[in-house]
């Protein structure tokens, strides 16, 4: 089946997470939407925002071209579809129930105002607009009118990501299902009751002094993970390949760590993208951590208000209720924290920023920030690119022109977040 993944105008609302990756590449409970879509597809076309097109061409070249024309229905999927087991099942059921009928009609699934998914007759799917700003519902309704197709609105519950905190919410609600799905469909060896390691040549060794509580969910380790002594794990927990878990760590209650990460201290309700490090003591909870982030020793975040009320997030000039009691922080790619940094409840830290001391407010992208000292400075894109090159080199990864260009593009896109009076000079301590 040919599938079209599209970013809509609301993909930008997922910033800073979505500034450096397509919305379908956001991990939630260890899965990306594309992980669910690829097994369903014979070909995929991905429509992403302009600043991500070169990155997509380098990392996912097979997604950059239109699928071959076909008379078979084409599945159109919003890139903001939450990458959960529940959504995957609903999407597959939608296709199975409506695929034949979609040869002669356009079938829509809505999530609020947005198009979540649609089945479109293959002979007209090539007419779809590739612009991100397109109103997909209106476009498909017009396409149906132009080709005398009926429009059917299917009653299917597909949920989308509207704000960054939704990633945390869906992660918490879906982590157990996700880990159990991996066990059921993967190749793992059960080394203790409900504790699994990948069945590979570079097998992960679980030290005998590790302690596990799997009463609320299993624990899964991929291959080649170094686990230090005296660690505690309370499931559901998933740890990706080639990682490191520091001694005396406490990893618990819905944690999903992607590949090539280092984790230590206390982690709870955490989704971490690849190549990030939190290997020292400190608490990190109910949070989303992007890629290539380094957290200094003693870094902690708060995930609960002193009033025990629901957490509100601030996005630009809007205050949005999360409806959740526990929300930590959201960190964009390439962030760094100094030793003993303290991040208040429900805070957002932008791409490429460095944080020192107390962080009671959101942090824009590309800044040096010591809020407790009322000190701010701009981190130019070329400075962050130099740091990126050093980080990549330590992991034997070659920095590409598209990686550097993405930083410059995101810097320009986030210019309005930064005060024009801020200097590029280092913060004086």
Compute φ and ψ for 85, nearest 5 degrees.
Answer: -60, -40
Q: Digits of tens for pLDDT over the chain (429 positions)?
A: 999 999 999 999 999 999 999 999 999 999 999 999 999 999 999 999 999 999 999 999 999 877 677 889 999 999 999 999 999 999 999 999 999 999 999 999 999 999 999 999 998 888 887 778 778 899 999 999 999 999 999 999 999 999 999 999 999 999 999 999 999 999 999 999 999 999 999 999 999 999 999 999 999 999 999 999 999 999 999 999 999 999 999 999 999 999 999 999 999 999 999 999 999 999 999 999 999 999 999 999 999 999 999 999 999 999 999 999 999 999 999 999 999 999 999 999 999 999 999 999 999 999 999 998 899 999 999 999 999 999 999 999 999 999 999 999 999 999 999 999 999 887 776
Asked if omega into 16 is within 30° of 0 (cis), the reply is yes
SS3 35: helix
Scanning the structure block, which residue is given the tokens 């076309």? Answer: 45
Secondary structure letter of residue 416 according to DSSP: G
Q: How far apart are CA 75 and CA 80, in angstroms?
A: 15
- What ranges do the domains of the chain cover? 2-153, 164-417
Cα dist from 68 to 74, 101, 147, 329, whole Å: 11, 21, 20, 43
Give the alpha-carbon dihedral of 244, 247, 248, 252, to 10 degrees: 10
Q: Which residues contact residue 214 at a Cβ distance below 8 angstroms, ignoring those fewer than 6 apart?
A: 193, 194, 195, 234, 235
Q: How far apart are CA 49 and CA 28, in angstroms?
A: 21
pTM exceeds cut of 0.85: yes
CB atoms < 10 A from the CB of 121, how many?
21
Q: Which residues contact residue 33 at a Cβ distance below 8 angstroms, ignoring those fewer than 6 apart?
A: 5, 23, 24, 25, 26, 77, 79, 81, 82, 83
Give yes or no for a contact between 132 and 48, defined as CB atoms under 8 angstroms apart.
yes
Q: How far apart are CA 307 and CA 305, in angstroms?
A: 5
219-221 and 195-198 strand pairing: parallel
Q: Which CATH class is domain 164-417?
A: mainly beta
Q: How far apart are CA 240 and CA 222, in angstroms?
A: 5
H or E element that contains 143: helix 136-146
CATH architecture of 2-153: Alpha-Beta Complex (3.90)
């Amino acid at each position: 089946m040919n599938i079209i993944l599209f970013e809509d105008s609301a993909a930008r609302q997922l910033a800073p997470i979505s500034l450096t990756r397509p919305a379908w590449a956001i991990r939630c409970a260890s899965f990306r939407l594309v992980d669910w879509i690829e097994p369903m597809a014979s070909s995929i076309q991905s429509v992403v925002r302009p600043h991500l097109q070169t990155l997509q061409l380098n990392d996912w070249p097979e997604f950059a071209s239109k699928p071959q024309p076909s008379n078979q229905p084409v599945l159109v999927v919003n890139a903001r579809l939450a990458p959960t087991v529940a959504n995957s099942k609903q999407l597959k059921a939608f296709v199975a129930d409506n695929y034949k009928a979609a040869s002669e009609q356009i079938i829509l699934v809505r999530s609020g105002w947005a198009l979540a998914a649609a089945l479109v007759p293959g002979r007209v799917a090539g007419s779809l607009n590739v612009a991100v700003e397109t109103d997909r519902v209106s476009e498909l309704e017009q396409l149906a009118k132009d080709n005398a197709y009926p429009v059917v609105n299917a009653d299917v519950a597909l949920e989308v990501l509207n704000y960054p905190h939704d990633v945390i919410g869906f992660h918490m609600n879906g982590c157990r299902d996700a880990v159990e799905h991996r066990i059921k469909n993967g190749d793992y060896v059960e080394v203790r009751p409900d504790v699994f390691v990948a069945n590979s040549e570079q097998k992960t060794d679980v030290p005998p002094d590790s302690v596990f509580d799997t009463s609320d969910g299993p624990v899964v380790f991929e291959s080649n993970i170094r686990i230090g002594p005296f660690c505690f794990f309370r499931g559901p927990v998933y740890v990706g390949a080639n990682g490191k878990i520091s001694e005396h760590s406490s990893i618990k209650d819905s944690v999903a760590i992607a590949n090539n990460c280092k984790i230590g201290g206390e982690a709870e309700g955490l989704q971490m993208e690849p190549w990030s490090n939190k290997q020292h003591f400190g608490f990190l909870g109910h949070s989303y951590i992007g890629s290539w982030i380094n957290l200094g020793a003693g870094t902690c975040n708060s995930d609960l208000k002193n009033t025990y009320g629901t957490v509100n997030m601030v996005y630009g000039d809007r205050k949005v209720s999360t409806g959740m009691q526990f929300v930590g922080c959201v960190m964009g790619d390439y962030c760094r924290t100094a030793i003993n940094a303290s991040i208040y409840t429900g805070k957002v830290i932008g791409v490429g920023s460095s944080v020192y001391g107390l962080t009671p407010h959101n942090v824009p992208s590309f800044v040096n920030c010591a809020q407790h000292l009322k000190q701010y400075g701009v981190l130019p894109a070329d400075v962050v690119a130099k740091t990126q090159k050093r980080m990549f080199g330590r992991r034997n990864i070659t920095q590409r022109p598209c990686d550097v260009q993405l930083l410059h593009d995101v810097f320009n896109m986030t210019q309005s977040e930064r005060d024009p009076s801020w200097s590029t000079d280092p913060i004086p301590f």
